[in-house]
Amino acid sequence: MRIAVLSIVSLLWLVLVAPAPTQAAASGDRRVVGSESMSCRGQFASGDATIGFRSSMPREVAVGKTTPAADATVTFAVPQALLARMRESGVTSVRGVIAGTAIHLTAKIDRIPFRKVRIPATRVPDSGPMVLVGTGRRSAFKVAEKGNFALTLTESAIVRLQTTLQGRTIRESLSCDAQPIKRAGSLRVR
């Protein structure tokens, strides 16, 4: 009986918890993961932040063929000055969007944007850092010429945060710029 129960539990774990093979793995895609140190300016506070990026990208594509969109995740480490201001003001949670982020394909297309990156309501921690996680989509794209092209991470981002405090909606928009821009891999167009 104990072996049967363990077998059922193991089977449920495989069905419910174990990672399924992804479309990216099946098609030879790989994860593009990277982060940029950015200087952010806002109405209530400014400071340095780290913005992280994660999405799948093919290793190679056929010239002129559309590569479909894919899921994307963007993380934002809230600048310490803004986080301190939120805590002092009694802000308990924030939500928002991250706009303007992209993977750049040098020389061929200007950018492959991340779209509709939304940050769900996230609790402001009592201490320590705060990292917001937004999810959205990497846009579909196509390349018109053959060659090997460098992929670089976005050079700027707009982070729009919103909270409700004492019955009022408060918004903060942070404009962030990266220096230097980081390389995130390459793409072969055949």
**Is 180 within the bounds of a domain?**
yes
CATH number at residue 149: 2.60.40
Q: What percent of the chain has pLDDT over 90?
A: 48
**Is 38 within the bounds of a domain?**
yes
Predicted TM-score of the model (pTM): 0.77
Residue 19 has pLDDT above 80, yes or no: no
Residue 6 has pLDDT above 70, yes or no: no
**Is 68 within the bounds of a domain?**
yes
Residue 14's pLDDT band (boundaries 50, 70, 90)?
A: very low
**Is 19 within the bounds of a domain?**
no
What is the reported pLDDT for 180? 66
What is the reported pLDDT for 127? 94
Residue 33's pLDDT band (boundaries 50, 70, 90)?
A: confident
Quote the Cα angle for 147-151-156, to 5°.
140
The kind and range of the H/E element at 3 are: helix 2-16
**Is 154 within the bounds of a domain?**
yes
**Is 3 within the bounds of a domain?**
no
The greatest distance separating any two alpha carbons of the chain, rounded to the nearest whole angstrom, comes to 64
Rounded Cα distance between 12 and 147, Å, is: 46
**Is 14 within the bounds of a domain?**
no
**Where in the sequence is the domain holding 62, given as residue range(s)?**
26-189
Average pLDDT, the chain: 80
What is the reported pLDDT for 93? 93
Residue 144 has pLDDT above 50, yes or no: yes
Neighbours of 173 (CB within 10 A): 16
Q: Mind giving me the DSSP string for 88-107?
A: HHT--EEEEEEES-EEEETT
Question: Tens digits of per-residue pLDDT, 127-143?
Answer: 999 999 999 999 999 88
Rounded Cα distance between 19 and 168, Å, is: 42
Burial 10-26 (b: 16+ CB within 10 A, else e): eeeeeeeeeeeeeebee
What number is the average pLDDT over the span 80-102? Answer: 93
Number of domains in the chain: 1
**Is 98 within the bounds of a domain?**
yes
